[in-house]
Amino acid sequence: MAKSARASSKKFNNQRKAASVFAPTENARAERLSAKLLELAKQPKPESSDVNMNTEDDDLQVEITTRDDNDTAMEVDASTKTTKPRRSGRVIAKSKHKKSKMVFQNLANILVPISILIFAIGFFPYKPFLPGLAEYESLEIGPPPSGPFDKLVFMVVDALRSPLNRRTGQLTSDCSDFVFSENSGFEFTQSLIRDGSAVPFTANARSPTVTMPRIKSITTGSIPSFVDLILNFDEADTSSTLSAQDTWLAQLKARGMGKLLMFGDDTWLKLFPDTFDRTDGTTSFFVSDFTEVDNNVTRNIAGELENNDWGLMVLHYLGLDHIGHKSGPRSPNMVPKQQEMDGIVQTLFEAIESKNHLKSTLLVICGDHGMNDAGNHGASSPGETSPALLFISPKMKAISSGLSAPATPKDDFEYYSKVEQSDLAPTIAALLGFPVSKNNLGAFIPAFLSFWPSARDRVQILMRNAKQILGIVTAAFGDELFDPESMSDPCFLEPTDINTLACQWRCISQKARSVADARHIDAEWLSETSTWLRRAQDLMSAMASNYDIPKLLLGLALASVSMLLSISSTVSRGYHWNSDAVPLLLIALSYGIMMFASSFVEEEHHFWYWSCTLWLAYLGSRQVAKTRRISLFGWSLVALAALRIMRSWNQTGQKYAGEPDIVKIFLLPYPELLWILVAATYGIISFNILASLDGLPYVISTGLSSFLVSAAFSFKLAFTAEDAPELVVGFAKAVYDMFQGQTLLFRARLVFALISITAVWAIYRSIVGGPRASRTSAYLFHYLYTLLALTQSRATNIPILLLSSLLFNFLQSSNLSIPQITTSSILLQHATFFAFGGSNAISSIDLSSAYNGISSFNVIAVGFLTLISNWSGPIFWTSAANLLLMKKAHEGQKDVFRQHITLLTAFTAASIAFVMAACTALRTHLFIWTVFSPKYLYCMAWGLGQHLLINVGFGGLLYWLSSR
């Protein structure tokens, strides 16, 4: 009672004190407030356009708090100068500023594809060609000679090269041979070389070493455009046809030398529509098959050898190339496939020997390109540019006494005399007796001049070839220097390449008549003419393409504008993270400078590996110093160790391609270790998917995750059993036997269907389930993509995604700013691209999984699967970055994804601009077509595919779903 009395007394005293002390002040404030309200009421109302209620503006954060009644309205004083119209003006200015930044960012991303395509049009133009068929022109030295052959069997064994260990110069015991060396499966072919029935050469296939450009070079004698490299990957393309160009196929058809037959790679049917009379085409991109694809060719041979109505039979075998893509040149399937091809050579040769209507048939065997030590092609390594070439016929014994076989290489892959692959065109033309193609840059192979004993005939063959190439030379340089009546004598001018060529032409053309009339051929003149042909060929082949300089500069300018717009948007945002963006600026500048050195372009992976190592070490030390948490130090060591292992997983680049790496040293010899890692990766993914299916009953979520992962794992086992059966041993073989019975097509479609169904459910949950469901679904999307990446990756690369998950856990444990997230994403996207075996060479493109779940060619489906197969690592980090950004958004940061994309666009535009500048400045460089052109193609893929489609499109979709 006493306490209650005291409290009541104290309360009464306070009330009395407040009434006597504070009441006058309260009354005065109330009077001033009333006067102020009356004054505001008399002012004009603001326009509706001045009112901005956009609560999402990150530059204007409105904070609503609850205050005591005593605090309300007491701040209004006569000295207060703030008015509502003034604040409204600031809101309008900030809104306009935000909109301008959004316009800058959108415009920068729009300019990225525009600049890329304009530059590509100027850098990779279609080369002009002379239309119509060549005709024999009248020469003073007489009519053209007839050829010793009247039929041609042209057999292409895709990727047929001569293998050699580049580092040691020695054949290794486990290295399967292709044609000429000791371990070859071509034993019968080598016997033909020894007895003189076959004349062998090592051809030089210029880059790009893929099928379509090489067939163009073989049939026209010209140097193909790099545009053909892009068209080579589109099975449905018909724009690259040679139907309007002069080729030896067109010459054969025009002269009625018999029907034209084609069996094998349907690239020939695309290049020569309506040319062949009987065909049986096979697609070239089902690289999983190397049996039926060749049986479909061989089944036509026996019947056609009995027919006498054809003049040309083209046989294009794909199996050996497919084995290379799947398992490399040391695959256990390689020698049996060579023996199969050797048996076909034997069948053809014995038919030519025994059948009267085939007595004058020439059999040409060649590879369209070779392959590197990884089994791929498209670049310019010696293995890729050195396919085998053989001319076979019993008539060859008249000009050849035989050569040693197997042979010892003189240089990298050079077993016999080296010729240009384009030399096939004029040589075939002469041997079959028709004019050389108008656009030919090839030189007749002098070894076959012995078929014509007459000096006049030999002069005819060389001079007609020389005059045809002279027409191309004079079209490029003018004819004044080559005109014997010209007042300017090139022999007395500065000894440039063209002046030297013109001087030599005058000499050989003046001697031609006297040499033709002589009883014996002048060996010196023959040598001089052959040298002139080769010089002219080298000059025209090495000439810079007909670049469209204005388009190159326009593309470069637009890329630079895109870069400046992105930087402007970045700098003007005012988010106070400029210091965190400095490392990204340094990376972009270093990368740009590096693009001007061909060696650095070829070995680009080292830049990303070391940059990533330094970056992770920097993040780890910074986080440890800031938080003093020992666990972060442990995660830093784990991350650095994971990155170090990842760097050594696959040897890439040019200098050390095919050298020992983790896959070759540990996984291929010990497949049990491989499947332990693979099973662990699938197991972790299964638990992660299960944890992310919290919106479903436990029984359903457990069954779905188990069924989904089991279907994916069984597909990978079955795929590997077809792809590399030597890897499916032990418990992997036992599990594979349990799941036998379904085709790979069905298995792949089942996996894709289950992933799609689960993704649709996750989308539904994101839209209707609220913030928590959106966050859970974001992780489910990430794990579903990881499972898709596992499906599209080679079995030996699957553990890289396990290592990537460890790196992601380190980044999750660190409190990163948005620029740090973006920098980490860029570095790890590029590092994992190279860790998976990627490079800046076309030969590193992996097509082994491009047809998973597809029964026929579809450009969109194949393109999508090829993108996933080759960019599985970078796409993983796009998804992982979304999870890190989602975390920042849930911490209360505004405009998170836009900040991220602004920085990504700035880096992408800068890298594109630097690559364009390098290609423009170095367009006459020796390695422009072998190094810088492929680099620009990859630049296109990174800019259009990875940045716009994946980072902006796919990443934006993921962020939108996760932030609902």
Complete DSSP assignment for 22-51: THHHHHHHHHHHHHHHHHHHHSPPPPGGG-
Beta bridge partners of 203: 419
Q: Which long-range contacts (CB under 8 A, 24 or more apart) does 303-308 make?
A: 304/261, 304/278, 305/347, 305/348, 305/351, 305/355, 305/358, 308/357
Q: Hey, where are the domains in the chain?
A: 151-449
Nearest to 840 by CA among 351, 193, 380: 380
DSSP annotation of 437 reads P
In this prediction, residue 788 has a pLDDT band, given cuts at 50, 70 and 90, of: very high
CA atoms within 13 A on the CB side of 653: 20
Residue 280: burial class (beta carbons within 10 Å; 0-12, 13-18, 19+):
middle
Question: Which one of 160-169, 423-432, 465-474 scores highest in mean pLDDT?
Answer: 423-432
Q: What is the mean pLDDT of residues 815-843?
A: 94
Considering Cα of 601, then 606, then 610, then 616, what sign does the dihedral take? positive
Q: What is the mean pLDDT of residues 748-756?
A: 97
> Strands across the sheet with 388-392, in order?
278-282, 259-265, 310-317, 151-157, 361-366, 388-392, 198-204, 418-420
Q: Which residue has the tokens 């500023």?
A: 97
pLDDT in tens, 625-681: 888 877 788 889 999 999 999 999 999 987 777 788 999 999 999 999 999 999 999
Question: Which one of 458-462, 564-568, 681-685 scores highest in mean pLDDT?
Answer: 681-685
pLDDT at 453 over 50: yes
pLDDT recorded at residue 578: 64
Nearest to 932 by CA among 441, 548, 544, 587: 544
Instruction: Give the lowest-confidence range in 53-57, 204-208, 956-960.
Output: 53-57
pLDDT in tens, 866-887: 999 999 999 999 999 999 999 9
- Exposure pattern of 160-195 as b/e (b: 16+ CB <10 Å)? bbbbbebeeeebeeebbbbbbbebbbbebbbebbee
- Rounded percentage of the chain residues whose pLDDT exceeds 90: 56
pLDDT at 60 over 60: no
pLDDT recorded at residue 67: 38
Question: Which one of 62-66, 98-102, 520-524 scores highest in mean pLDDT?
Answer: 520-524
- Rounded percentage of the chain residues whose pLDDT exceeds 70: 84
pLDDT in tens, 86-102: 555 555 555 666 677 78
pLDDT at 61 over 70: no
DSSP annotation of 793 reads S
pLDDT recorded at residue 209: 84
Q: What is the mean pLDDT of residues 31-44?
A: 55
Which segments of 384-526 are extended strands (E)?
388-392, 418-420
- Superfamily the domain 151-449 falls into: Alkaline Phosphatase, subunit A (3.40.720.10)
Structure tokens at 423: 């030399």
Quick one: three-class SS letters along 246-314?
CCHHHHHHHCCCCEEEEEEECHHHHHCCCCCCEEEEECCCCCCCCCHHHHHHHCCHHHHHHCCCEEEEE
- Summary mean pLDDT of the chain: 85
Q: What is the mean pLDDT of residues 526-550?
A: 84
Nearest to 824 by CA among 887, 877, 750, 879: 877
Phi, psi (rounded to 5 degrees) for 200: -95, 155
pLDDT recorded at residue 688: 96
Helices (H), 769-836: 770-792, 798-813, 818-835
| 3-state SS assignment for residue 159 | coil
Considering Cα of 902, then 908, then 911, then 913, what sign does the dihedral take? negative
Higher pLDDT, 180 or 756: 756
pLDDT recorded at residue 770: 85
Q: What is the mean pLDDT of residues 385-390?
A: 92
Q: Tell me: cis bond preceding 208? Omega within 30 of 0 counts.
A: yes
In this prediction, residue 769 has a pLDDT band, given cuts at 50, 70 and 90, of: confident
pLDDT recorded at residue 13: 52
pLDDT in tens, 825-835: 999 999 999 99
pLDDT recorded at residue 953: 97
- Give CA–CA dist 715/534, Å, rounded: 53
- Give CA–CA dist 871/949, Å, rounded: 12
- Give CA–CA dist 63/82, Å, rounded: 18
In this prediction, residue 810 has a pLDDT band, given cuts at 50, 70 and 90, of: very high
pLDDT recorded at residue 375: 75
pLDDT recorded at residue 330: 78
- Give CA–CA dist 288/303, Å, rounded: 28
Q: What is the mean pLDDT of residues 888-903?
A: 91
In this prediction, residue 381 has a pLDDT band, given cuts at 50, 70 and 90, of: confident
Q: What is the mean pLDDT of residues 463-492?
A: 87
Higher pLDDT, 483 or 608: 608
Instruction: Give the lowest-confidence range in 286-290, 521-525, 629-633, 780-784.
Output: 286-290
pLDDT recorded at residue 64: 35
What's at 74, amino acid-wise?
Answer: M
Structure tokens at 912: 């594109």
Higher pLDDT, 263 or 488: 263
DSSP annotation of 487 reads S
- Give CA–CA dist 15/286, Å, rounded: 93
DSSP annotation of 837 reads T
Q: What is the mean pLDDT of residues 477-504?
A: 87
In this prediction, residue 898 has a pLDDT band, given cuts at 50, 70 and 90, of: very high
